[in-house]
Amino acid sequence: MTDYLSVDQLLIERDDRLLFKNLNFSVSAGKVVQLVGRNGSGKTSLIRTLLGLMPDFEGQLTWKGKPLHQERDDFFSNLLYIGHKASIKSALTATENLEWLTAPYRKVTQEEIDEALAKVGLKGYEDVECHSMSAGQNRRVALAQLYLLDLPVWILDEPFTAIDLAGVDQLEARIAEHAAQGGAVLVTTHHVMNIDSLMKVNLDEFAPRGRHAG
Ligand SMILES: Nc1ncnc2c1ncn2[C@@H]1O[C@H](COP(=O)(O)OP(=O)(O)OP(=O)(O)O)[C@@H](O)[C@H]1O
C-alpha cells in the first residue's frame, strides 16, 4: 500500500501556543483519514503546514517516503485540495470557475463540466454567476472538481459545510469510491462518515494537558 503523505512526531504552535505534539499518521492509498478535534485544535493549521504555508513546525513530513519539502512539485501535481473557503470566484459562472480551478492540471471540456455539475446537482446552473448561488451551491461547484480531476490524493477541509442531506450522502459516496479505487483522502469534518476504509485522527488527543475537549 502506497504511503503518500506521512506525518511523524509533528508539533505545531501558533503564536507560541502549543496546538498539538507527537502526532503521527499516514495518508495511504485506499484509505480515508478523518481529522477531528474541537474548534481551534489545529485541523486547518495542520493542513496549511502540509501545504507548505506554515513553515514553523517540529517533526518530519514525508511524501512517498521522501522529505516533503524536497518533493513539493510531485506532491502538488498529485494533490486535489479543496479548502474551507473553496476558492470560488463570485463574478465567474460555475463553468468559468471550474475551467479556472482545473486549468493547472488539464483542459476540461464543456461536456465534462456539464456532467460534473449534473453530478453535484447543478444541472442548469452551468452559466450562472456564482454570486447568485447559495452557499451550498457554491460549495457544490467546488466539489464538482472531484468528478473532473483524476488526482490520487485529496485534502478536503470541511467539505460538508453548507451541503444538504442528499449532497452529504453523495459526497460521502464519492469519497468512499475514490478510496476504493486506490485514492487517498485526508478530510476534516465533524460529520459522522460511514466508510469502511476510514481512520480517525483526533487532534484533541495530542493537545497539551488541560486543553482536551470537554
Ligand atoms: N491567522 C491566525 N493567526 C494566528 N493564530 C491563529 C490564526 N488562525 C488560527 N489561529 C490559532 O490557531 C489555533 C488553531 O486554529 P485552526 O484554524 O487550525 O483550528 P481548527 O481546528 O481548524 O478550528 P475550527 O474547527 O474552528 O475550524 C486557534 O486556536 C487559533 O488560536
* Sign of the Cα pseudo-torsion (144, 146, 147, 151, in order): positive
pTM of the model as a whole: 0.93
Grid coordinates representing 205? Answer: 488527543
How remote is the CA of residue 40 from the centroid of ligand 1, in Å? 5
pLDDT exceeds 70 at position 212: no
Whose grid coordinates read 506532491? 75
ipTM score of the complex? 0.95
Does ligand 1 have an atom closer than 6 angstroms to the CB of 45?
yes
Say if residue 209 is exposed, middle or buried (CB neighbours under 10 Å; 0-12, 13-18, 19+). exposed
Closest atom of ligand 1 to CA, residue 45? 18
pLDDT, tens digit (0-9, with 9 covering 90-100), for 17-74: 999 999 999 999 999 999 999 999 999 999 999 999 999 999 999 999 999 999 999 9
Closest atom of ligand 1 to CA, residue 84? 27
Closest atom of ligand 1 to CA, residue 188? 22
How far apart are alpha carbons 6 and 201 in whole angstroms?
A: 13
How remote is the CA of residue 11 from the centroid of ligand 1, in Å? 15
Averaged pLDDT, 114-118 = 97
Does ligand 1 have an atom closer than 6 angstroms to the CB of 42?
yes
Residue 83: partners with Cβ closer than 8 Å, 6 or more residues away = 47, 157
How far apart are alpha carbons 121 and 174 in whole angstroms?
A: 14
**Lowest mean pLDDT across 107-111, 153-157, 189-193:** 189-193
Grid coordinates representing 91? Answer: 463574478
Protein residue whose Cα sits closest to atom 11 of ligand 1: 14
pLDDT, tens digit (0-9, with 9 covering 90-100), for 194-208: 998 899 999 999 998
Q: How are strands ordered across the β-sheet holding 184-188?
A: 79-82, 153-157, 184-188, 32-36, 198-202
Q: How are strands ordered across the β-sheet holding 58-63?
A: 17-28, 3-14, 58-63, 66-67
How far apart are alpha carbons 27 and 9 in whole angstroms?
A: 15
